[in-house]
Structure formats: structure tokens, C-alpha cells
Amino acid sequence: MKGRYGDIWDELFSGLWEANVEEAYFKNKVALVTGASRGIGRAIAESLSLCGARVIANYHKSEKEITSLVESLQNKHCAIEALRADVTNGKEVERMVDEVVKRYERIDILINNAGLKRDSFLALMSDEDWVEVIDTNLKSVYYVTKWVSRIMMRQHEGKIINMSSLSAFKGLAGQANYAASKGGVISFTRAVARELGRFGIQVNAVAPGLIETDILKDMDKEALKELIQGIPLGRIGTVGDIVGAVLFLASNHSDYIAGQTLLIDGGLGI
């Protein structure tokens, strides 16, 4: 398998290709992934775990899904466990981070992935939909990053990757709440990258375009079809398309990158 993707990628994905946790790139790194029960977060948690990291897979409601993920990876001798917390609740986040530190004594990688959307035209938007989206996609990033950064500052190292969206760049009708939350994530990423850089902590974001997960299932089929036709790479993205960039930003190969947001959208946002 080695040599297939060039040195950097072979090294990063060594666990994935060979299921050899002992030699894997992220061996002994402790990674907290929020919203790991489904979609993009699940794929990131799985990949980090297969690449040797000790993964704490946060979830909120999808107990069955997270249990199947954890069991399948534990059967492959990966170190992964689930931790329930509603990331919009500051107290629950504080307890979650305390629990991780009690068990593992450190946190090397934080993936702020949990998110949702509640699309509607602004004139018709309910206050509840505005608040839920801002709380889940942005306030959660504030809570989790605040508590985890205290641990990483003590360690003098850490990688934080936030989940933004193409929607922050390309105003999509019906997504005023979602776009505002994801634009906030980009600005938050820049400000916090500046604060934490001197502590050896790199904070970056990724902004996926259209990725095939549950989040798209209530999207208008015609609007989705039209958007897909406009993608220069000619297809909708998969969770695997996001994983590579996240593993790169979580690795030491990105040590001189801070405050950036990487669009992963098949060119839709060009």
C-alpha cells in the first residue's frame, strides 16, 4: 500500500490503509470530536481512531448510531469511547471536557463538528429556528473551544478544527441563520487562532460544500439538483472528501497554518 499517495499521505493514513494502530500516525493523540454519531463527524472520528488516536466521540441524541460506531472500532482494537453532551449547554460541555481530562489527562485535537440547519426564508423564520441554529453551530464552538483551550494552553500544543460551510461565503436563500452561524465560525477561528498561536495551538476551519449526509435530506430536491449541476467537479461530496483535509489540519504537516478556512466544495464556491 505504501507509496500510493506520496510520503505525507501514506504517513497520515498509515492506520487507515493497514489497520495497524501500533504504527499509526496519530498514535497516543487524544482527540475530541463533537457530533460524532452521524455524517461528517462520524467519518472523522472513525478515521482518527483508525489512525491511532484515542477518540472521544461526542453525541447528543443518536445513541444507537454512536454505539454501533464505537463497537465496530473497538472490535478492531481502536481506542474510542462515546460521551454524551449537548454542546449548546455550557455546563454539559464543561462536564464533558472535565471527564476527558480525568480519563486521558490531555486533549491534543478538537474537532468542533456538531451542527444542524433549519432553513426558511427570513421573513418566515421562527425565532426558535434562528436561536437553535446559532446556538448549535456557533455558541457550541465557543463553549467547547473555551474549555478545551485551557487544557491545550497548559500543554503548549493542540490542534483545533472548526466546521464552517460554503454557505458562509455563498449566500444561499433560506439560510440566513445557518450562513450567519457559519460566518461566525470563520471570524471566531481567526480571532482565536491569534490568541492561541503563541501557546503552540493552531486553530483552523474547513468549509464543506454539498456533502451527502442526513443534513441534506430535507433540502428541496430541485434546488439540490440545480446546485449539483453547478459544481465544477461534477458531483456531490462524500464524507471522505472532508476527512483528508481534517486529518491534514490535525497533523504536524499543518504546523505553520493558523486562522485559515479551507473550502472543500468541488469548486462550487469559485
Ligand X SMILES: NC(=O)c1ccc[n+]([C@@H]2O[C@H](COP(=O)([O-])OP(=O)(O)OC[C@H]3O[C@@H](n4cnc5c(N)ncnc54)[C@H](OP(=O)(O)O)[C@@H]3O)[C@@H](O)[C@H]2O)c1
Looking at the Cβ atoms of 153 and 228, the one nearer to ligand X is 228
Among 40, 50, 144, 152, binds ligand X (CB under 6 A): 40
Least distance from C-beta 116 to ligand X, angstroms?
A: 5
Neighbours of 191 (CB within 10 A): 12
Does 145 interact with ligand X (rule: CB under 6 A)?
Answer: no
Among 29, 60, 118, 159, binds ligand X (CB under 6 A): 60
Lay out the site mask for ligand X across 169-198 (x = CB under 6 A, - = otherwise): ------------------------------
Among 32, 51, 87, 107, binds ligand X (CB under 6 A): 87
Among 101, 131, 180, 216, binds ligand X (CB under 6 A): 216
Does 41 interact with ligand X (rule: CB under 6 A)?
Answer: yes
Contact 152, 170 (CB under 8 A): no
Report how far residue 86's alpha carbon sits from residue 58's, in angstroms, rounded to the nearest whole number. Answer: 9
Residue with cell 426558535: 128
Does 213 interact with ligand X (rule: CB under 6 A)?
Answer: yes
Among 12, 21, 38, 107, binds ligand X (CB under 6 A): 38
Does 105 interact with ligand X (rule: CB under 6 A)?
Answer: no
Report how far residue 243's alpha carbon sits from residue 12's, in angstroms, rounded to the nearest whole number. Answer: 11
Looking at the Cβ atoms of 41 and 52, the one nearer to ligand X is 41
Strands of the sheet with 158-163, listed across from one edge: 80-84, 54-59, 30-33, 109-112, 158-163, 201-208, 261-264
Report how far residue 24's alpha carbon sits from residue 47's, in angstroms, rounded to the nearest whole number. Answer: 11
* Per-residue exposure over 130-169, b if at least 16 CB sit within 10 Å of its own CB, e if not: bebbbbbbbbbbbbbbebbbebbbeeeebbbbbbbbbbbb
Does 39 interact with ligand X (rule: CB under 6 A)?
Answer: yes
Looking at the Cβ atoms of 30 and 239, the one nearer to ligand X is 239
Cβ contacts of 211 within 8 Å, gap of 6 or more: 39, 40, 236, 237, 238, 239, 241, 242
Q: Is 256 noted as a catalytic residue in this protein?
A: no
Report how far residue 169's alpha carbon sits from residue 140's, in angstroms, rounded to the nearest whole number. Answer: 21
Sign of the four-CA dihedral 132, 135, 136, 137 = positive
Does 202 interact with ligand X (rule: CB under 6 A)?
Answer: no
Sign of the four-CA dihedral 14, 19, 23, 28 = positive
Which region among 73-81, 100-108, 112-120, 244-252 touches ligand X (by CB under 6 A)? 112-120
Does 262 interact with ligand X (rule: CB under 6 A)?
Answer: no
Among 86, 108, 119, 241, binds ligand X (CB under 6 A): 86
Which region among 15-23, 31-39, 148-156, 226-234 touches ligand X (by CB under 6 A)? 31-39
Rounded-to-10 torsion of CA 230, 189, 238, 214: -100
Active-site residue set: 178
The residues of the shown chain that bind ligand X, judged by CB under 6 A, are: 34-35, 37-41, 58-62, 86-88, 113-116, 136-137, 163, 165, 208, 210-211, 213-216
